[in-house]
Structure 1
Amino acid sequence: MLGNVDTRPLNLVVPLKQARALHRHLGMETCGDLLRHYPRKYLHYGSGGALEGTSEGDTISVIGDIVSARSNPKAAKPMHIITVFDGTATIEATFFGSRYAAGVLTEGRRVMLTGKLGYYRGAPQLKHPDFVLLDGSAEATGALRQLAHFGKIDDILAGREWLPMYPATSKVSTWTIMGAVHAVLSTLPRIEEPLGATPIGFCSLDLAIRGVHAPPPEGPGRALARLKYEEASGVALVMAVRRAEQAQRVTTALPHVRGGDMDTLLNRLPYTLTDGQSLVLGEISADLSRPRPMSRLLQGEVGSGKTIVSLVAMLQAIDNGAQCALLAPTEVLVAQHARSLQETTMRAGLPTRIVALTGSMSAGRRQEALLSIVSGEADIVVGTHALLQEAVEFFRLGLVIVDEQHRFGVEQRDALRAKSPDAPPHMLVMTATPIPRTMAITVFGDLEISTLKELPGGRKPIQSSLVPEFKPRWVARAWEKIREEAAAGRQAYIVCPRIDGPGGVTETAEALADTEFEDLSVGVLHGRLPAEEKDAVMADFSAGGIDVLVSTTVIEVGVDVPNATVMMVRESEHFGVSQLHQLRGRVGRGGNASLCLFHTRAEPGTPAFERVSQVAATSDGFELAELDLKARQEGDILGAAQSGNRRTLRLINLVADYDIVRRAYDDAEEFVARFPAQAADAARELVTTVPEEWEYLDKT
């Protein structure tokens, strides 16, 4: 969030014992930390919904009217039973041996109950819940008495139609947080607008902070909208400042050289580029021709032809005497890229020198590679993280390409930029994981974005089928299909979620070699194999020496074997939506009809089964990206687990809040243009205040 809402130490406003608990268990030090701990939901008197999304055993809170009350004082253990109507449902609460409850919980009173949800003959019930009377007396029991640490319960609950329920722990209850927030808000001076004026169409930040914790009768909607806008504005301002700074940088222009190697390759390709590839190449070529460093993201469907686009771009740089670096996430992918690029340039009759650099190379080979890089002899250097080491020096680095950018963070990109400090290199980052539109402007707001959707000519859509373990005949047919493809001279992948143990690569390969595929050549590939062995296995598979390759997700990205026409992903419920789509893209890379089989042990009706079913039913990566985002929500994508209590985005839903995010980005662009110095100061304060959040944001 822009600005500091309240920097007062929490222990100066909240009782010391409670302040210590908030610090120890929720990491809160200042009043601002507490005010940014937003409610997870609200109880609204008369609107019901207490049971929505709950399961038996959950602790719930219910606000409603007591519509009936009865006691059994003569029983061995006297009981008092009330029925509460919350606006949509009735819930029964039973109190044992409590004369106090029997005396005050009478028909017609308004009450809030908090307890563990149970069911009896299908009807919801609470046994001996804590309660607080909400009709003026505000008498409370149990955990609800914690409110009294922060003042009179009457004062804290007075006039509230909406009660906030906070993310809590076993040591710090929602009532402790509510009471502490009440104490802070009671002494909070008016909050100033961080950028000077209230954005048009939104309430003030002061009203928003107060209204999200103590909503007015109409509810927290306006407050939440402003706070979502504020969160988006923080990210948007940083991205807008980055874009403005990039626009001021000067580098060496690498224009199109007519008749150069780039033109030669394009003229000698054995196929025609798609319209989408030609359009994207035009955008990249124009960027390279300017004396401002290119910062572009190329997102493309699996198999859409990003590699050839990147090679053409690199040849434009080489035509200008520059070197290129291609950063890839795995050694398998580095070896394949180097081999593929060399074959393509050789077929076109080009003298392009391509060098691979990985961490596992022998000292002699590494020294030879480093010498060719620093001397300028190497035109294209393909490498893993080994490229980032200080020992790697370029003669004239002009273009950096980052493949599968989600595997790398901004610090890796900056490390490569630093290889050419006098003239920052142009930067192209690529991903085969389509990015939802809100993510595109939130996380990649400092990059221009190009998109490839269509598949090159000759590529046939990949058929996908679900293979549930509970249908053994389907599983048997899947193995039979793989044997049929092998008999036709094709090859297959079998992807496992682990290396060892039941269902792992090792055990699966051994079992299949002895049973289903005893007449076929079965290979094994996983991350623990030595680099030389991995390269040898992939080379053998590419050459057709292996019929069935049993692998982990080491083949997830970039691996290109056109003869592979069928894949089975074992226990596919253990993989994410985007990962399954990436894996599927390893087949169908030739002109043959291809099939991806998603095996699953998940039960029908479970979220895991539904997720795999949706992937099998949909081949559109952009549609799946939206589905993935909706399923995981922004917490996983933007690093809720990584950033702890100081997470950057707490309220924004990256599926539903596109309009708010778009508005924040447009406003940030205008603000940076009008007040560049103030914008730069605000952005700098944001990044230095929450560095761990921004680091994760950049990596995601």
Structure 2
Amino acid sequence: MPATKTSTSTPSPPPPSSAAKNIDGKLAKLGLRTDMDRVLHLPMRYEDETEVVTIREACLRGGHVSQVEGVVVKNEISYKPRRQLLVSIADETSDIQLRFMNFYGSQVKQLAEGTRVRARAEVRHGFLGAEMVHPNYKVINEGAPLPTSLTPVYPSGEGLSQTVLRRVIADAMKRVDWQDTVPQAVRTRLNLAEFQPAVRLLHYPPPDVDTHALVERSHPAWTRVKFDELLAQQLSLKSAQQARREKGAPVLAAVGSLSRDFLAALPFKLTRAQARVVDEIRADLGEGYPMQRLLQGDVGSGKTVVAALAAAQAIDSGYQAALMAPTEILAEQHFRKIAAWMEPLGVKVAWLTGSLKKKDKVAASELVESGAANLVIGTHALIQNTVQFAKLGLVLVDEQHRFGVGQRLTLRNKGSDGLVPHQLMMSATPIPRTLAMTYYADLEVSVIDELPPGRTPIVTRAIDQNRRDEVIERVHAAAQEGRQVYWVCPLIEESEALQLQTATDTYETLAASLPDLVVGLVHGRMKPAEKQVIMDAFTAGEVHVLVATTVIEVGVDVPNASLMVIEHAERFGLSQLHQLRGRVGRGSAASVCLLLYQSPLGPVAKQRLMTMRETTDGFEIARRDLEIRGPGEFLGARQSGEAMLRFANLETDGWIVDQARDVAAWLLGSDRPEAEAIVEAHLARWLGGREEFLKV
């Protein structure tokens, strides 16, 4: 009988318990899936549990947070004035009451008389003497050692206590690979702390640490973490840029008869800034890899004509171009303007939106698919599966931050012959330099930093709602002088929660107050055809006052409109206020923007209105907007919440962005074999599975 073979393999670890799986699921909701994710889940603040003072000393310090230790001498549930647990502890100097308004039955048993407790909270002097309300506490044995470092307090989620987070993070720190992914030469040159000591200090800072630097995140340990985070982002975006350059794109080098005839037919001359940007785009379109360029320009700087010239170059080169805008009003504005320029030159411009009747959609799609349409302009309808292009060479995306990454990718993926179309993204929301360097490091950026001549400066005033009647009189006077007026409201229908004046109510009020004027109304719930009738009448001068929601935020161009009233201006963001204001000041008449606000104003609203009064410079407004609300809203759906910076602050850490950008360029440009391994290790540590999202 053959001998039985003895297995020498290592036994498999036991499967995780249901409790462990439950904790893992809750950690995953916080984005903490790997050990390194958990190690990089850094504290938001700290508690000092390294010192115990006597109860007497804590009482003398009243109003400060103190940690005391004593034995429970009394434990009772009181019902006056409400149900609460009252626990008295005493040491050799005095006693103090611990009061819990919300408590469990287990706590009553846990804090039984004779139990030794450490409690930490602010000491208050109430009707019954010194007390701590809902203190942090631990049941301990006599002589239990004190912590030797500050106690971290972590960002948490539902069902995750600080105790669990501290244990999970401590366990993860035993397992991770601590190898430093930043080369020694870089650390020395930039005076950076080493990775492991820096992270350990942030989790377990010693009692003598510079607490102010720790809280303000200016400590060298924080600088190292911020640098690593920014380096990962720069490496990812720049790697994506390099990867795109390896893809093939149609070469749109021809600047032929259409481009020349188009320029010659324009009733104005390009500004120096427009001409410079056109040259930058033309050079990109002539390359065999996809252009990925962001065109920035303030409201009214003339981005549309630059986009049209790019489209003309694509058409001259035998390809189609597509322009996608986020709203029908904006898309139609582009269509009317560009079609008026191009159709007399023999270009077929197709119009495609979701509101078209089925037969019109089919007809437009056939024009695009057959190649009969050289240029197609529309909304999200352009990215539907039913829309196929014969030979798409250029994608133009207006107000790009209002589209999701997936939407822009879908349009870009409609190229043919395995080639990726060039892409030009436009934004009238100027992006501050540091933000552009950080979140748009994978893009080339062109800036139109000059307004066309003849634009009049806009005077901005903030006016309390109580002076509404005066504003209506001013509207009447402006209309009698032959000028037109926008009156913008933030909501369409009544909301009791916000109690805002609505567009429909305002329309009725103004129509009644100004019987000799024609008052129109447009809002987002009207059918496109209805909206267009009103907009056409306003453009033709037949409507004196246009009451509107923010559907007129971008793209509307009526030079005769020189007065704008923005209702409840305190409810709008800075960028939106600036966009709205840009609808006036487009003609030769002096223009005014009146910001009607409801008192009292909060501090953020005050800042916004003050900024609007002080400047019309879109780049300065964007800089202040970044200060007020951070980078999130500038980026729209470009990044996921996970990909946002967690530690670096773009307002205060711009110098670290510069360093990270230079090191990323050095690593990616290096031909040393170890450079590639360094890049991979750093990206794996900081981005893990999230890296792919940055690459789009």
Partner of 2:650: 654
Structure 2 counterpart of 1:166, from 136, 151, 154 = 154
SS, match of residue 279 in structure 2: helix
C-alpha displacement of 1:672: 2.3
Q: 1:192 aligns with which of 158, 179, 186?
A: 179
Deviations 1:336-387 (A, max 9, x none): 11111122336xx522221110011112222221222122221211010111
Structure 2 counterpart SS, 1:381: strand
SS at match of 1:400: strand
Q: 1:640 to 1:166 in 2, by over 3 A?
A: farther
Q: CA deviation at 1:28?
A: 4.7
Structure 2 counterpart of 1:511, one-letter code: T
**2:200 — aligned with what?**
210
* Counterpart selection for 2:619 from 619, 622, 630: 622
Q: CA deviation at 1:458?
A: 0.4
Equivalent residue number for residue 395 of structure 1: 390
CA contact (8 A) 1:63 1:112 kept: no
**Distance (Å, rounded) in 2 between the aligned partners of 1:199 and 1:503:** 58
Q: Measure the CA separation in 1 of the matches of 2:321 and 2:633.
A: 34
1:690/1:595 CA distance change after superposition, 3 Å = farther
Distance in structure 2 (CA, Å) of the matches to 1:355 and 1:166: 55
Match of residue 670 from structure 1:
666
Distance in 2 separating the partners of 1:291 and 1:276? 26
Q: Tell me how many residue pairs correspond in the alignment.
A: 630
Write out per-residue CA displacement over residues 166-225 of structure 1, whole angstroms, 9 at most, x where no aligned residue. 33468545455445545554x356612346668423222212221211124444412211
CA distance 1:533–1:91, change in 2 (3 Å):
farther
**Which letter does structure 2 place at the counterpart of 1:34?**
R
In the aligned structure 1, how far is the partner of 2:222 from the partner of 2:130? 32
| Pairing partner for 1:451 from 433, 443, 447 | 447
Which position in structure 2 is the counterpart of 1:404? 399
Provide closer, same or farther for how the CA distance between residues 65 and 35 of structure 1 changes in structure 2, counting only shifts above 3 A. Answer: same
CA deviation after TM superposition for structure 1 residue 165, in Å: 3.2
Question: 2: distance between equivalents of 1:263 and 1:484?
Answer: 45
In 2, Cα distance between the equivalents of 1:466 and 1:301?
Answer: 22
Aligned to 1:343: 340
Q: What is the CA distance between 1:30 and its match in structure 2?
A: 4.8
Give the corresponding residue for 1:100.
89
Q: Distance in 2 between matches of 1:640 and 1:376?
A: 31
1:37: Cα distance to partner? 2.5
Residue equivalent to 1:424: 420
Secondary structure at the residue paired with 1:100?
strand
SS at match of 2:155: coil
Give distance in 1, aligned partners of 2:143 and 2:372: 78
Q: What does residue 492 of structure 1 align with?
A: 485
Which residue does 2:269 correspond to in 1?
A: 272
Q: 1:357 aligns with which of 331, 352, 362?
A: 352
Cα distance change of structure 1 residues 682 and 615 upon mapping to structure 2, 3 Å threshold? farther
Q: Which amino acid counterpart does residue 259 of structure 2 have in structure 1?
A: M
Residue in 1 that maps onto 2:409? 414
SS at match of 2:426: strand
Which of 237, 245, 248 in structure 2 is aligned with 1:247? 245
Partner of 1:53: none
Cα separation, 2, equivalents of 1:153 and 1:196: 46
Residues 1:467 and 2:452 are matched in the alignment:
no
CA–CA distance in structure 2, aligned partners of residues 126 and 310 of structure 1: 71
For residue 603 of structure 1, what is the aligned residue in structure 2?
600
Identity across matched positions, percent: 37
CA shift, 1:226, in A, is 1.4
CA, structure 1 residues 68+159, in 2 after alignment: closer, same or farther (shift >3 Å)?
closer
The one-letter code of the counterpart of 1:441 is M
Distance 1:414 1:683 in 2: 27
Aligned residue identity for 1:465: R
Q: 1:573, 1:602 within 8 Å by CA — same for their partners in 2? A: no
Could you tell me the TM-score, scaled by structure 1's length? Answer: 0.80
* Contact 2:399–2:427, Cα closer than 8 Å, also in 1: yes
Opposite residue 215 of structure 1, the aligned amino acid is P
| Partner AA of 2:341 in structure 1 | T
Displacement of 1:263: 1.7
For 1:261-320, what per-residue CA distance to the aligned partner results, in whole angstroms no more than 9, with x for missing partners?
212222332222211111111111111122222111001111111111111121122222
Q: Provide the rounded CA distance (Å) in 1 between the counterparts of 2:158 and 2:142.
A: 24
- Judged with a 3 Å threshold, the aligned counterparts in structure 2 of structure 1 residues 163 and 317 are, in CA distance, closer, same or farther, namely same
Contact 1:324 1:379 in 2 (8 A): yes
Q: Please state whether the residue corresponding to 1:144 is helix, strand or coil.
A: strand
| Alpha carbons of structure 1 residues 364 and 664: separation in structure 2 relative to 1, 3 Å | same
SS at match of 1:326: strand
Single out whichever of 199-208 and 545-554 deviates more from structure 2: 199-208
CA distance in 2, matches of 1:37, 1:492: 52
- 2:433 aligned with 1:440: no
Partner of 1:287: 284
**C-alpha displacement of 1:144:** 3.1
> Which residue among 498, 501, 504 is the counterpart of 2:502?
504
Shift of 1:584: 0.8
Contact 1:144 1:175 in 2 (8 A): no
Q: Please state if 1:531 is matched with 2:528.
A: yes
SS in 2 for 1:145: strand
Q: Distance in 1 between matches of 2:442 and 2:355?
A: 34
Relative to structure 1, is the Cα distance of residues 379 and 602 closer, same or farther in structure 2, using a 3 angstrom cutoff?
farther
Q: Verify the 8 A CA contact 2:521 2:548 in the aligned structure 1.
A: yes
Q: Secondary structure at the match of 1:335?
A: helix
Distance, in Å, in 1 between the alignment partners of 2:298 and 2:310 is: 19
**1:595 and 1:33 mapped to 2: Cα distance?**
52
**One-letter identity of the residue aligned with 2:92:** G
After superposition, residues 126-165 of structure 1 pair within 5 angstroms as 127-129=131-133, 143-145=136-138, 157-160=146-149, 162-165=150-153
Pair 35,283 (structure 1): closer, same or farther in 2 beyond 3 Å:
same
Cα distance in 1 between the residues matched to 2:653 and 2:273: 29
Query: Structure 1's 683 and 202: CA in aligned 2 closer, same or farther, altered over 3 A?
Result: closer
Q: Give the distance between the partners of 1:514 and 1:118, measured in 2 at CA.
A: 60
Greater Cα shift, 539-548 or 188-197: 188-197
Paired amino acid for 1:193: D
Structure 1 residue 312 and structure 2 residue 309: aligned? yes
Q: Offset at 1:498?
A: 0.9
Q: Which moved more, 1:423-432 or 1:168-177?
A: 168-177
Long gaps (5+) in structure 2: 1-12, 75-86, 97-116, 495-499
Write the letter of the residue equivalent to 1:191.
Answer: W
Deviations 1:45-84 (A, max 9, x none): 7xxxxxxxxxxxxxxxx998969938xxxxxxxxx93316
Secondary structure class of the residue paired with 1:341: helix
1:215-252 deviation digits (Å, cap 9, x = unpaired)? 24444412211111122122212211111112222322
Q: State the shift of 1:615 in Å.
A: 2.1
Contact in 2 for aligned 1:687/1:694 (Cα 8 Å): no
Offset, 1:35: 2.5
Gaps of 5+ in 1: 1-8, 46-61, 71-79, 131-141
Cα distance in 2 for partners of 1:210, 1:358 equals: 55
**Aligned residue number for residue 379 of structure 1:** 374
Partner amino acid, structure 2, of 1:368: A
1:582 aligns with 2:579: yes
Q: Is the contact made by 2:39 and 2:169 (CA closer than 8 Å) also made in structure 1?
A: yes
Task: State the distance in 1 between where 2:24 and 2:252 align.
Answer: 59
Q: State the SS of the aligned residue for 1:81.
A: helix
The AA in structure 2 aligned to 1:526 is H
Checking the alignment, whether the CA contact within 8 Å between 2:181 and 2:678 is kept in structure 1 is no
Q: Please report the TM-score for the alignment, with normalisation by the length of structure 2.
A: 0.80
SS of the counterpart of 1:608? Answer: helix
Alignment partners' CA distance in 2, 1:101 and 1:608: 50
